[in-house]
Amino acid sequence: MAPPQPKAAAKAPAAPAGGVQKAKVGKPRNYDLGNGIVRFSKTKMFHKKAKYKFIGKKHPKAPKDKKPAVVVKPIGGEKNGGTRKVLLHRRKSFYPTQDKIRTRSHHKTFSKHVRRTRPSLTVGTVCILLAGRHAGKRVVLVGVLPSGLLLVTGPFAFNSCPLRRIPQRYVIGTSTKVDLSDFKLPAHLDDTYFKKNKKSTKRSVKRKEGEDIFVTKKEKYVPSEQRKADQKLVDEAVIKAIGKRSDKKILRGYLKSAFGLRSSQYPHRLHF
Amino acid sequence: MPFERYVEPGRVALVADGPLKGKLVSVVDVIDQTRALVDGPGSGVPRQQIRLNQLHLTKFRLSYPFTAPTRVVRKAWTDAKLTEKWAESQWSKNLANKEKRAAMTDYDRFKLTAARVKRNRARTAVFKSLKVKAARSGAFGKKKVPKTPAKKQRTKKTSAAKPAKK
């Protein structure tokens, strides 16, 4: 590696003369493997960077010129010594007796996990629900939320499955796909939108005076106007996409019918 | 009833198991009670030994002497038009149907069910109307005259032809 060195040395001074001065920034060879462990150990990097070359070599660093913390000021009066050192910056007025409680950033929390969706589950896929009260229904996949949950819809008019989140584990993706490429999911349909307000559904139903306190009272779930509007919006797009197909009649019947296994049908042997 | 198919030179068999599953071979020689030397020049099977329990014997038999070389087997195979004959046989058709069924997607299965329902409905309607007609004409003994006009059978149009898959 001897010959290239003089060349580089010759080039280096030329660059600033050209006017464009760009600091050469190297890329780190080491990288995080994703679990807090780096690819190359300290020792390995020691060899890679050839740090052994520099051990023992003394590179006397140019001493930084210290910024003065004090200013010497002359003062009057005979017995006052003539000058005083005055601090440029005032000392702190508050010294904590306890360390601050710091919130640590956790390595991995569930909300930070990388979400991967099965390749068979693309937007527009007809899915078979396997769990929940709509189990067995064939529904259309509308999108995947940041939490990794799938957003599906019946459409509601076909099989009364509303816009609903479901984990991909509880779904079979079929090879039948509806073309939803023109459809864009409204941004407000996110995870918080679908989160159930547990307080309102469970316990805190206020009792009136004189009411039987042992009778558990439950509020019935009623979809809000907003939900109804969103359901309509999404379903319209899905139904429109179905209507464009040549086999729309059969596909409609398909979505309306429920999935089931017959004798000598085994899900691991079937194609979907 | 005696056996009709034997492991003998020229016997064509379907390989039912192993890496050659589904291929047609012809027996060239019998090695021992469990193995035979087979060849399949028409189905891309190189000459090799195979266990007899991997073979299902077909009704076809080629004519060539035992231990015939591959070129002789090939000639007998093409002369007998074995590949065409096999494709025409009910056995191979059933196999093909089975394969087709296995490859069906969920949507295909639904379409098949819908077509069957349609067909069965039409068939039932025709059958019932024939039955009523026969009853009126006295085919079942005494003539039966309905007091009220016979109910019209529920029919559905059979517009779409049955899909090939069944």
What confidence category does residue B151 fall into, taking pLDDT thresholds of 50, 70 and 90?
low
**B84 domain residue, yes or no:** yes
C-beta of residue B56 within 8 angstroms of C-beta of residue B14:
yes
For residue A113, what is the DSSP state? S
Tell me the whole-structure pTM to 2 decimals.
Answer: 0.65
Asked whether residue B96 falls in the same domain as residue B110, the answer is: no
**A219 domain residue, yes or no:** no
Chain A residues contacting B via beta carbons under 8 Å: 126, 128, 172, 174-176, 250-251, 253-254, 257, 259, 269-272
User: What confidence tens digit (pLDDT) does each residue in A16-39 have?
Assistant: 444 566 778 888 889 989 888 999
How many residue pairs bridge chain A and chain B with CB atoms within 8 Å of each other?
32
For A151, the domain range is 114-199+246-257
CA distance B157 to A231: 35
Q: Which residue has the higher pLDDT, A111 or B13?
A: B13
**A252 domain residue, yes or no:** yes
**A191 domain residue, yes or no:** yes
Cβ <8 Å between B104 and A250: no
Cβ <8 Å between A270 and B114: no
Asked whether residue B75 falls in the same domain as residue B109, the answer is: no
Cβ <8 Å between B107 and A175: yes
For residue B123, what are its two tokens? 């068939």
Whether A201 has a pLDDT exceeding 60, the answer reads no
Phi and psi at residue B153, in whole multiples of 5°? -70, 145
- Chain A closest CA to B14's CA: distance in Å? 23
Which class for A260: exposed (0-12), middle (13-18), buried (19 or more C-beta within 10 A)?
Answer: exposed
For B157, the domain range is 104-166
C-beta of residue A161 within 8 angstroms of C-beta of residue A152:
yes
- ipTM, two decimals, is 0.72
When scoring B101, B106, B156 by the number of chain A Cβ atoms within 10 A, the one with the most, hence best to mutate, is B106
DSSP string, A48-103: HTTGGGTTT---PPPPPPPPPSEEEEE--SGGG-SEEEEESSPPPS---SSPPPPP
Cβ <8 Å between B110 and A257: yes
Cβ <8 Å between A272 and B104: no
B109 → chain A, closest CA residue: A272
**A32 domain residue, yes or no:** no
CATH classification at residue A143: 2.30.30.30
The total number of structural domains that make up chain B: 2
Asked whether residue B92 falls in the same domain as residue B109, the answer is: no
User: What confidence tens digit (pLDDT) does each residue in A167-195 have?
Assistant: 999 999 999 999 999 999 999 998 999 98
B100 → chain A, closest CA residue: A271
**B3 domain residue, yes or no:** no
The total number of structural domains that make up chain A: 1
Chain B neighbors of A253, CB-CB under 8 A: 110, 114
**B5 domain residue, yes or no:** no
For residue A67, what are its two tokens? 């910024």
Cβ <8 Å between A269 and B114: no
User: What confidence tens digit (pLDDT) does each residue in A93-149 have?
Assistant: 888 899 888 887 766 777 778 899 999 999 999 999 999 999 999 999 999 999 999
Asked whether residue B134 falls in the same domain as residue B95, the answer is: no
When scoring A172, A262, A268, A272 by the number of chain B Cβ atoms within 10 A, the one with the most, hence best to mutate, is A272
**A207 domain residue, yes or no:** no
Q: Does B102 touch chain A (CB under 8 A)?
A: yes
Asked whether residue B52 falls in the same domain as residue B96, the answer is: yes
